[in-house]
Every structure is written in C-alpha cells, then in structure tokens.
Amino acid sequence: MLNFTLKQLRYVEAAGRLGSIARAAKEQSISQSSITAAIDSLETELGYSLFVRTPAKGIRTTPSGRESLHSIRSFIDQARHFEGEIKSIGGDTTGALKIGCYATAAPAFLPPVLKGFTEKYPGISIKLLEGNMQTINEFLEDGKADLAFTYGQSVSEQQDFLPLFTAPPFALIAVDNPLANQSSVSMARLSKQPMVMLDLPRTRDYFTSLFQQYELTPNIVHTTRSSEIARALVAGGFGFSILNILPTDYVKGKSRYAVIPISDKLQDQKFGLATLKTVYRPRIVQAFVNHCKDLTASGVFESLVVN
C-alpha cells in the first residue's frame, strides 16, 4: 500500500506544474527541502522517477511522471470537493468552484451568471479560467476546471454538454458601411467584403465553414486573437467580423459598428456547460448547473443573442 499524505501530493503537483522546486516552495510557503523530500518519498513509494532534475534548469516530468501528475491532480481535486461536501452536510453549500469559459463570451456571459450564484451561495469561492475552445477542453481533462462554458461544437466524446441557449452568428459592420443600414445580410454579400477574422483554435474553422456551406470564400484581410481588437478594427472601417454573442460595449445606434443578422440558414450554434462524463459531480457543481438551468428557463440569456 502506498504511504503518502495529501500535503505531500500538493507539493509534488506544484513542482510539476511550475517546473521548479524553488517556485513550488514559494507558492506553497514551505522550504525547498520539504518539496524535495516529498518528491523523493513519492518516487521511492512508486518505484520510478517523476522528474528529471537538471541543475540550474529546474525539473521536467518523465513520461511516467506526466501520467502520474494527471492522477495526482485529479485526486487533489476530489479531496477539495470532499472537504466541501463534508462541510456542507447539515448546512449551506460551501467550497471552491473552478469554472472555465470561452474567453470571447466571458465578459458578456459571466457577470449575470456569477452575480446570482454568489448571492445565493455566499460561502462558495470561484476561480475563473479563460481560454479558447481548445484550452477549455484541456482545463476539463486536466482537472483544472470542474465545468466549462463553451460551444457544443468543441465538446469531446468524454464530456457531457448541457445547452443553455442557441447563439446564431451575426455580422459586425462599421456604421459608415452601406450594409450597416440593412435589416440583414447574406453570406454572399459578406464574402465580397474585407473580413477581420477572429483567429482562435477551432473558431476560425467554424467561421470559415459558414462560407463554405454556400461554396463561398471569405476575403480575410486581418486576423486577431482578440475579440476586442476585432471590434476595434471593424469600428475603424478595416472590415466586417462575425460573432455569436453580443459584445458588452454594444449600444444600438451609439456604437461605431452595427450588429446585423445573417439572412442565410446556418447551423445552430449551442452555447452551454461542459463537464467530464467520468467524474462524480459534487454538490457545489450540481448547484451551479441547476442555477444555470434556472437562468435559461427565466430567459436571462436572450439578451446575449441576435435573431
């Protein structure tokens, strides 16, 4: 039987995540010798090396160590939820919740979600992790996030997906462009305009597929990984862009860009919550899922989309 403590596992996990015994010691507020002792002890128990240690260059995980660290992080995460479950018995729901969110949607989507939840469960702390659709999946699979807000197209077979609302794509067009005065615009007309492409993993493929659906090719003149920069370029007249969730700074008739629905029939894009199928859903996670279901039923998310 393996003999180790949760504290030792936390020291080892920090060293692997940070790639440095010194940085792990600083983060954990402990001596470097304690981190080293935890690594040595666990490696002895396991019978193989978790790390390759190079003087003045820190540490790097071995192939076996990489797999072990994944299991260690999962165990630490379960221990965190176990503590919250125990404290919640006979009282209010407490604990820590780690939420991943697709970065371009986070500013518009998270505030109304978190406001009601933290008011209902004041004893819960929340850590937010923003990323693109690819890193969101990695957050879930590595145990860095308990659940994640993302689009259904990015969800893997190992994940459950709860759709919260449908987010059809729409065009952002500078107000001095004649198309900004139209009630809607077709993909064919957009293909003839210069485009500012939001160039993120899986996102670019999705926007390109909208044109390919009608055997069209977008005229991409600028690319950016920032939705804020994309909006600024559109407002400056450098081209149009496409999004699925309304920006928080958009005010109809006052913003320097217009939001125009797309007239063509396009595949529905579902936005919702992803969780791992094989992971037990603690009380705190289930409470958050139920909260989001209630928000959907009350129509809170309807103001985020363009129909």
pLDDT per residue as tens digits for the range 268-307: 789 999 998 877 777 788 889 999 999 999 999 998 999 8
Q: All domains of the chain, ordered by start, with CATH?
A: 6-71 (1.10.10.10), 92-166+270-304 (3.40.190.10), 170-261 (3.40.190.10)
Q: Please, are residues 151 and 102 in contact by the beta-carbon 8 Å criterion?
A: yes
Helix H or strand E encompassing 88 = helix 63-88
Beta-sheet strands, E only, within 108-253: 124-131, 147-151, 159-166, 170-174, 194-198, 219-224, 241-243
Work out the percent of the chain whose per-residue pLDDT is above 70. Answer: 94
pLDDT per residue as tens digits for the range 127-159: 899 999 889 888 888 778 889 999 998 888 888
Of 31-40, 58-67, 183-192, 221-230, minimum mean pLDDT range: 58-67
pLDDT per residue as tens digits for the range 76-101: 777 776 766 666 554 555 677 889 99
Check: pTM over 0.85? Answer yes or no: no
Predicted local confidence at residue 281, as pLDDT = 74
Report the distance separating Cα 143 and Cα 64, nearest Å: 18
Give Cβ neighbours of residue 265 (< 8 Å, ≥ 6 apart).
Answer: none
Q: How many residues would you count in the chain? A: 307
Three-state helix/strand/coil letters over 26-65: HHHCCCHHHHHHHHHHHHHHHCCCCEEEECCCEEEECHHH
Other beta carbons within 10 angstroms of residue 117's beta carbon come to: 21
* Mean pLDDT within 173-189: 95
Predicted local confidence at residue 189, as pLDDT = 96
Predicted local confidence at residue 84, as pLDDT = 64
Predicted local confidence at residue 186, as pLDDT = 96
Predicted local confidence at residue 75, as pLDDT = 80
Beta-sheet strands, E only, within the chain: 51-54, 58-61, 95-102, 124-131, 147-151, 159-166, 170-174, 194-198, 219-224, 241-243, 257-261, 270-276
| Pairing label, strands 95-102, 124-131 | parallel
